[in-house]
């Protein structure tokens, strides 16, 4: 069944010193195979944690701001209009954001997060 709603009405998690994640598309709206999150990180935030997923594929679409993405041991600069595709097993995490903060959409499948934290 189709759903139309405002971002502010989506389930969300806010972490002091990090930012807010809005879970836009998931089981809550009836999705079975695809998820979408809006990730809004605070200015000069550091480290979301390096991790990987055993089965999940993800696409990041950067909307505004800048950040440094650690991907399989290499730093990559992200800015508005940049797109990232992540395969299962790719070790990744935002390690810092710029002075203006950072906003991106993450589209992923399957819904199961199967997140595995990587020791530093």
**Mean pLDDT value across residues 3-17:** 94
With respect to residue 1, please indicate whether it lies within any of the assigned structural domains. no
Supply the mean pLDDT for the chain. Answer: 95
The model's pLDDT over 59-86, given as tens digits with 9 standing for 90+, comes to 999 999 999 999 999 999 999 999 999 9
Q: Give the per-residue pLDDT at 46.
A: 81
CATH number for 18:
2.60.120.10
**Mean pLDDT value across residues 77-103:** 96
With respect to residue 49, please indicate whether it lies within any of the assigned structural domains. yes
State which residues form the domain around 31. 10-117
**Mean pLDDT value across residues 40-45:** 93
Task: Give phi and psi for 9, each to the nearest 5.
Answer: -90, -5
With respect to residue 15, please indicate whether it lies within any of the assigned structural domains. yes
Domain count, the chain: 1
Cite the beta strand spans of 19-91 per DSSP E: 19-25, 35-41, 51-53, 57-71, 74-79, 83-86
With respect to residue 5, please indicate whether it lies within any of the assigned structural domains. no
With respect to residue 61, please indicate whether it lies within any of the assigned structural domains. yes
Contact 91, 73 (CB under 8 A): yes
Task: Give phi and psi for 27, each to the nearest 5.
Answer: -60, -30
Q: Give the per-residue pLDDT at 120.
A: 61
Q: How confident is the model at residue 91 (pLDDT cuts 50, 70, 90)?
A: very high
With respect to residue 104, please indicate whether it lies within any of the assigned structural domains. yes
Q: How far is CA 85 from CA 19, 60, 97, in A?
A: 22, 7, 19
Contact 78, 96 (CB under 8 A): no
With respect to residue 4, please indicate whether it lies within any of the assigned structural domains. no
With respect to residue 20, please indicate whether it lies within any of the assigned structural domains. yes
Q: How confident is the model at residue 49 (pLDDT cuts 50, 70, 90)?
A: confident
Q: How far is CA 53 from CA 18, 65, 103, in A?
A: 21, 25, 21
- Which has more pLDDT, 119 or 78? 78
Q: Give the per-residue pLDDT at 4.
A: 96
């Amino acid at each position: 069944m189709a759903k139309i709603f405002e971002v502010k009405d989506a389930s969300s998690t806010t972490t002091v010193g990090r930012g807010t994640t809005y879970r836009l598309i998931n089981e809550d709206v009836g999705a079975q195979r695809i998820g979408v999150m809006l990730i809004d990180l605070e200015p000069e935030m550091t480290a979301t944690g390096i991790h990987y997923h055993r089965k999940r594929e993800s696409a990041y679409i950067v909307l505004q701001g800048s950040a440094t993405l650690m991907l399989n041991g290499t730093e990559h600069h992200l800015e508005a209009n940049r797109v990232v595709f992540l395969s299962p097993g790719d070790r990744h995490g935002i390690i810092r954001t710029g002075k203006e903060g950072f906003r991106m959409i993450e589209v992923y499948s399957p819904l199961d997060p199967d997140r595995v934290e990587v020791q530093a």
